[in-house]
Amino acid sequence: MKLPFVQPKMMGDMIRRQIRAVLYRDLVSTTAELAQSTGISFPTISKTLDEMNNQGEVVLTGLGASSGGRRPKQYRLNADHMTGLAVALEKDYSSYALLNYVGEVIGREKLPGVLHDGPERLTEQIGTFVQRYPHLRALTLGVPGAVNNGRVFHIPDYEKFKNFDFKALYEERFSLRVQVENDMNATVLGYHDRSGDDQNRSLVYLYLGQNGPGAGIMVNGDVVRGSSFFSGEVSFLPLYDSQNFSQAVQEPPSAQDGTERRAKLIDAMSRLVAVFTATLNPHTVLFCSTDLTERDLADVRKGSASYVPADNLPSLLVRDWEEDYFHGLNQLTIRTMLGLGID
């Protein structure tokens, strides 16, 4: 019984968002094309585009090709209108990506990790970017921990960040739009965006990280956070009589045959796939290239078919985790800049 409703007051705002979204997607567009793909009438598009041009949000790049009539003005987003910063906080490094208003990465830096040191170091690092880039307006932080509305409240091994409210602090201090996201959630979002696939898909992105395995889950196009932000903590899955997923995957203390160990890993993964198939029945399950090879994947595919009917299995893919993760953070940042966030 949810009724999303747009009051006339918000129309102007909505129209701008639509324009931004299309301009971001198509890079360059004309009034007629925008009217076409947004469904908004061309006089309105024209008027709004004028305003956006005056405010420096879009720029006129010239005239388009003609097919027998007056040549149309072409607009695109002004790359310099705003810049955003996407930060991945990992144990060993902080990865910073600077993004312009059209979504291009205009700078990338890896600085020392701050998770052990504490928030002060992070604030310093961010501060330098704020100084260097006066158009900085959006900041996205990816963290390996549970996040609720900009505050980290469960981050094992990095006690100094526990209960640290990134959003409150940095919005105040730097006057930026700040959002914080769990790393696997950002990753699954990143894949979803890169895949270009239809909206509303269900995905599971699995990572056997250093801090124990975890999964990012997306259902019907939305990230699943869980009632206590515990979603995707697959290490606890009771998949064997006396072992959970984590224990099955972990290297056993006793010397063990390599092939046997591999078989165990494959089976655990197969069961994991079966678990998701028999619950969410997702379209795709993603693995990290650091965790599994293509050959492993084939075996997992076979293995999981012994647990659930093969017709219902998701497609399994091996991915570069870092790429998807960074892309997810970038994506979140750009959406914020363009005003297309969740709000």
* Interface with DNA, residue 32, by CB under 7 A: yes
Closest contact distance (angstroms) between CB of 8 and DNA is 5
Place of tokens 């056997």: 208
| Dist CA 13 CA 18 (whole Å) | 9
The correct pick among 72, 107, 221, 341 for binding DNA (CB under 7 A) is 72
Sequence letter at residue 254: S
Which residue lies nearer to DNA by CB, 6 or 255? 6
CB environment 293-326: b (16+ within 10 A), e (fewer): eeebbebbbebbbeebeeeebbebebbebbebbb
Question: Taking CB within 5 to 8 Å according to partner kind, which of its own copies, DNA, none is near residue 221?
Answer: its own copies
Helix, strand or coil, per DSSP, at residue 295: helix
Stretch near DNA under the rule CB under 7 A, chosen from 35-43, 145-153, 178-186, 223-231: 35-43
The correct pick among 232, 269, 299, 332 for binding its own copies (CB under 8 A) is 232
Question: Taking CB within 5 to 8 Å according to partner kind, which of its own copies, DNA, none is near residue 293?
Answer: none
The correct pick among 13, 80, 172, 222 for binding its own copies (CB under 8 A) is 222
Closest contact distance (angstroms) between CB of 62 and DNA is 11
Nearest C-alpha neighbor of 113 from the set 210, 191, 33, 237: 210
* Interface with DNA, residue 23, by CB under 7 A: no
Cα Dmax for the chain: 79
Closest contact distance (angstroms) between CB of 138 and DNA is 25
Stretch near its own copies under the rule CB under 8 A, chosen from 125-133, 172-180, 212-220, 322-330: 212-220
* Interface with its own copies, residue 65, by CB under 8 A: no
Closest contact distance (angstroms) between CB of 305 and its own copies is 11
For 82, the token pair is 């705003």
Question: Taking CB within 5 to 8 Å according to partner kind, which of its own copies, DNA, none is near residue 67?
Answer: DNA
Question: Taking CB within 5 to 8 Å according to partner kind, which of its own copies, DNA, none is near residue 228?
Answer: its own copies
Residue 80 backbone phi and psi in degrees, to 5: -90, 5
Please say whether the beta carbons of 60 and 74 come within 8 A: yes
In degrees, rounded to 5, the angle at the alpha carbon of residue 292 between the alpha carbons of residues 289 and 296 is 135
For 39, the token pair is 């469904």
* Interface with DNA, residue 242, by CB under 7 A: no
Residue 237 backbone phi and psi in degrees, to 5: -60, 125
Please say whether the beta carbons of 56 and 101 come within 8 A: no
Stretch near its own copies under the rule CB under 8 A, chosen from 26-34, 73-81, 168-176, 221-229: 221-229
For 315, the token pair is 């497609």
For 295, the token pair is 């050959």
* Interface with DNA, residue 44, by CB under 7 A: yes
Helix, strand or coil, per DSSP, at residue 161: helix
| Dist CA 194 CA 323 (whole Å) | 10
* Interface with DNA, residue 26, by CB under 7 A: no
| Dist CA 181 CA 304 (whole Å) | 31
CB environment 21-35: b (16+ within 10 A), e (fewer): bbbbeeebbbbebbb
* Interface with its own copies, residue 240, by CB under 8 A: yes
Closest contact distance (angstroms) between CB of 298 and its own copies is 19
Looking at residues 244 to 263 of the shown chain, list those that interact with its own copies (rule: CB under 8 A). Answer: 244
* Interface with its own copies, residue 241, by CB under 8 A: yes
Interface residues with DNA (CB under 7 A) are 7-9, 11-12, 15, 30-32, 39-44, 46-47, 63, 66-73
Interface residues with its own copies (CB under 8 A) are 1-8, 11, 14, 17-18, 21, 25, 38-40, 199, 201-202, 215, 217, 219-222, 224-241, 244, 271, 274-283, 307-309, 311-312, 314, 335, 340
